[in-house]
Amino acid sequence: MTQKLSNNMKAIKKVVLALALLVSVNTFAQDRPIHEVYSMMMVNFVKYVQWPNQASGGEFVIGVVGNNEIYTTLNTWHGGKERSGKTYIIKKFNSAADLTACDVVYIDRSKSNDFEAISNKVKGKNTLIITDKAGLGEKGSAINFRTIDNKLKFELNQKAVEASNLKVSSALSSMAIVI
């Protein structure tokens, strides 16, 4: 009985977290520039992903390839702040050749031609790749932003997540278009 109650509480907690993320995204997105919405969503995604080395201290690096506004917003809002004992470090990269070790890499649609090179560079590492162009989810991006019926949504490629040795909460999966 106690185990069943505990499982029910966990399920309720996941639903509440998913609803909170949805409400915060919808509330925040109203009349906001898209780079702010993307920045907020990326940081929220991180809350629902588990990295193998998550318990250790140090830095949590988010790399941005090709979008100055997203880089600036992430750096202003989160750069130098702590997350679960790690310090957010936001880095800007111009191409795959510049890319260094990151926990998260966002590839802007303007740099989508670099997707394969970036994907190959982080292959086998614990890096969450987030993109913003139709088709990149199927090509191996873990999370890909999509606009459907004038609403911002996101695809989740579970195989890409697993290949990066990451775990995504069921709360995030339940909000995604799983591919």
Q: Which two tokens stand for residue 148?
A: 């459907």
Rounded Cα–Cα distance for residues 133 and 137 (Å)? 8
Q: What is the structure's pLDDT at 53?
A: 73
Say if residue 79's pLDDT is above 60.
yes
Give the pLDDT mean for 23-43. 76
Give the pLDDT mean for 1-8. 55
DSSP letter (8 states) at residue 124: T
Instruction: Sketch out the chain's domains with CATH numbers.
Output: 2-178 (3.40.50)
Q: Which two tokens stand for residue 25?
A: 């995204």
Residue tagged 């926990």 (tokens): 103
Nearest alpha-carbon partner for 113 in 94, 100, 128, 127: 94
Antiparallel, parallel or unpaired: β 143-148 and 128-131: parallel
Share of residues in the chain with pLDDT > 70 (%): 82
pLDDT tens digits, residue range 106-131?
Answer: 999 999 999 999 999 999 999 999 99
Question: What b/e readout covers 138-151, taking b as 16+ CB neighbours within 10 angstroms?
Answer: ebbbbbbbbeeeee
Instruction: Indicate the Cα dihedral angle 9, 15, 17, 20, nearest 10°.
Output: -140
Q: Is the pTM of this model over 0.85?
A: no
